[in-house]
Structure 1
């Protein structure tokens, strides 16, 4: 009897061990913590077919717009050959955006927008558009004219190209908006508070705006008011926007920008009485999927973890406080002052998360150690930690988590840790930058998470599985 009992105990122990050892990422199963991800290499890349897979997550949300990657199967702009960018160009423009944020810090230009009655170029730089852009389609005017706009949390003004183009307009996929055909269009005078304090602007004349982006792109035009149609049930009157009459640059076929920054001219600020200055978005896992941009609090995930916004020298940007980072089961040696001097922001338009040089060096070192079983390969541009996954069906990578102020811990999705150039060159999706600049939490790291901007409540939230 005792022999049979001992035999059964051994079988029980073996069963427990097998269940433990063959579960994904089972380094700390007793505590329920998972320190790694195992997934198919193919999931890192867009579908080989030309089909688009809409997200089912937005179907239960009101005031929600589909979000698509500008260069993918879900975007009608992708038929425009000028909109198809290679990775080198995406990363080059991404670096230009990062540099422009640094430039704005040094110049202390709040929103990169100059209001003037002159048609001369503005004297101050704005933030560059970047390149791995996500777009939404909204209606402008009466009758409604649909335009596809790049949505950007770093921009304080919504604008679109307008006819007639007084000097030049870049090529866009859709017809250019003509305000003369809209019964709800109104120019804004220099006397309007929205025009701002401008000594060169005379009362009674039309208020003009100008933005010169760091990559040399330009939009100049008049500040106007118009009816915006987000959805069939979300029609907004008297929204201030820029009607661009002279526009040049690399906007990849989009009709303009949807400004989601914190400035007084941004769409969330203007619609605060309707949507309580709350919006959320989910960036899809690949260019073959869709995400969503939602205004208001309807349908926000109950699992969202929030961290307070912090003050930032550029008021239109969203400051956050990073207090720690872990790679697998190892927490990096980050001191309380690591990010406090120059701060950090969360940005929908920056592609790759930027970290101070020393922090990135430690993150890279730990990541390399835990990826030692995979074949390393040469870097590419800003990426210096890359792997060759040729011939592999699945891979296991260490989980990376960010610790934010208020005790909020956010596990990055697996898709937010790697940047796939090709199967033979998949890279760690982070970059080191100067110690004396702010960190930037970029959009690769935000993929598939629902990011909630509760501006009225002074906080930003993160929830997993916001879209696919």
Structure 2
């Protein structure tokens, strides 16, 4: 099944080199002894937890790895890959399974200087198509596997916005400070329209956490105020987080491998939202809108690889109704416009953005155990230029998916911890520019 992203991802292993595919609806490290810290780049657009109220794991703390970056709408980190290591830019993506990196294509006149060169790594190996790993089990991938003309395992990623990446499945080591993983299955892309690779972090058996035996990881996304300003840096942990004493947790919804639901992504981090509040008012939306039905539609997932957040039509219609009532019910200085930003955000208004944000108030996703993701008015509306601003929540229908998605834009100034072992996600309010 397809994985949901700000661009809908369809992954398959295929012999074909075709560049079109109809989008479908959704999509050993022992970390107990290590706390590993990587600054990551959040690329544009309550009292915070501090070290004083949490216990720092002092058994071993790694040195900091900080990525260089090129602007995308994603969280980008630097990881050393291969032997000797070659630093690669990777998008941290909890909505994807397979990790892949840009590999040097020597048939190009000017291959990207930052791409991974397999010929320089002694630990690199190609995956032949007769290996068990090249015959993935459902629900890992949705389409059957085949070989390329060299009898090597071939993969292709296709995104709803037209970008793509394809190449061969390989085995290679990833370095994490003084630790080095065993050879992991990765994609080696020699044909891609993307600028960075992907670090797949979902629950699938070929994801980075699954292959590297990582039971817990977390990140803190810093606030983003402008598309043109220097992107701020956030923090990513593998293993125990020194701030977790202040986290509050929601349980993941898990699904058996035997279940067959066409729109369900079983490898996603799926939670159950209880409701939505706008300006302190709880909207009349059934909690069933945020849970998968018999076909899988309505699944709610935490996805760091999606920029904005999206709601299924039945929930979005209620949000839209309340937003229009609040924003357009003022003194008449604001008017709705027909702009659709990024092909996905269609609640756009012309007028003073500060006034619009004041009229709208905070938007809150309410979850179990009293956990709330609060989007203040300043982040509820996104300025797109020309005096126009758009609601930062969109309709899943415009993406062509049947899922609710909580994107990284609405995870700003939050610790988000993925505890795979205990099957839960933790949230902690923070100033992500200072952790």
Same fold (TM over 0.5): yes
Report the 3-state secondary structure (helix = DSSP H, G, I; strand = E; otherwise coil) of the residue aligned with 1:359: helix
Tell me if 1:376 matches 2:344. no
Q: For residue 305 of structure 1, what is the aligned residue in structure 2?
A: 248
Tell me if 1:218 matches 2:164. yes
Report the 3-state secondary structure (helix = DSSP H, G, I; strand = E; otherwise coil) of the residue aligned with 2:319: helix
Stretches of structure 2 lacking an aligned partner (at least 5 in a row): 28-70, 137-143, 225-229, 256-263
Moved over 6 A (4+): 122-128
Report the 3-state secondary structure (helix = DSSP H, G, I; strand = E; otherwise coil) of the residue aligned with 1:337: helix
* CA-CA distance at 1:290 after TM superposition: 0.9
Tell me if 1:241 matches 2:186. yes
Residue deviations 1:437-466 (CA, integer Å, cap 9, x gap): 222222221122111111222111221125
* CA-CA distance at 1:424 after TM superposition: 2.8
Report the 3-state secondary structure (helix = DSSP H, G, I; strand = E; otherwise coil) of the residue aligned with 1:338: helix
1:148–1:99 Cα change, 3 Å: closer
Q: For residue 362 of structure 2, what is the aligned residue in structure 1?
A: 399
Matches within 5 A, 1:296-335: 296-311=239-254, 313-335=264-286
Matches within 5 A, 1:112-191: 112-114=11-13, 118=15, 120-121=17-18, 132-165=73-106, 172=112, 174-191=113-130
Q: For residue 282 of structure 1, what is the aligned residue in structure 2?
A: 220
Asked if the contact 2:101/2:188 (under 8 Å) is kept, the reply is yes
Match of 1:265 among 178, 201, 206: 206
Query: Quick one: distance in 2 between partners of 1:294 and 1:164?
Result: 32
1:406–1:195 Cα change, 3 Å: farther
Per the normalisation by structure 2, the TM-score is: 0.69
Per the normalisation by structure 1, the TM-score is: 0.65
Query: Quick one: distance in 1 between partners of 2:352 and 2:383?
Result: 10
Larger Rg: 1
Residue deviations 1:114-136 (CA, integer Å, cap 9, x gap): 1x5x46459786999x9622211
Query: Quick one: distance in 1 between partners of 2:122 and 2:85?
Result: 10
CA RMSD of aligned residues (A): 3.5
1:457–1:466 Cα change, 3 Å: farther
Q: For residue 432 of structure 1, what is the aligned residue in structure 2?
A: 395
Query: Quick one: distance in 2 between partners of 1:465 and 1:169?
Result: 46
Which sits farther off after the overlay, 211-220 or 118-127? 118-127
Which sits farther off after the overlay, 340-349 or 409-418? 409-418
Query: Quick one: distance in 2 between partners of 1:413 and 1:169?
Result: 48
Match of 1:352 among 308, 315, 333: 308
* CA-CA distance at 1:377 after TM superposition: 4.1
Query: Quick one: distance in 1 between partners of 2:22 and 2:84?
Result: 35
Asked if the contact 2:7/2:161 (under 8 Å) is kept, the reply is no
Which sits farther off after the overlay, 445-454 or 297-306? 297-306
Aligned residues: 349
More helix by share: 1
Stretches of structure 1 lacking an aligned partner (at least 5 in a row): 1-95, 105-111
1:178–1:310 Cα change, 3 Å: same
Asked if the contact 2:129/2:146 (under 8 Å) is kept, the reply is no
Q: For residue 208 of structure 1, what is the aligned residue in structure 2?
A: 154
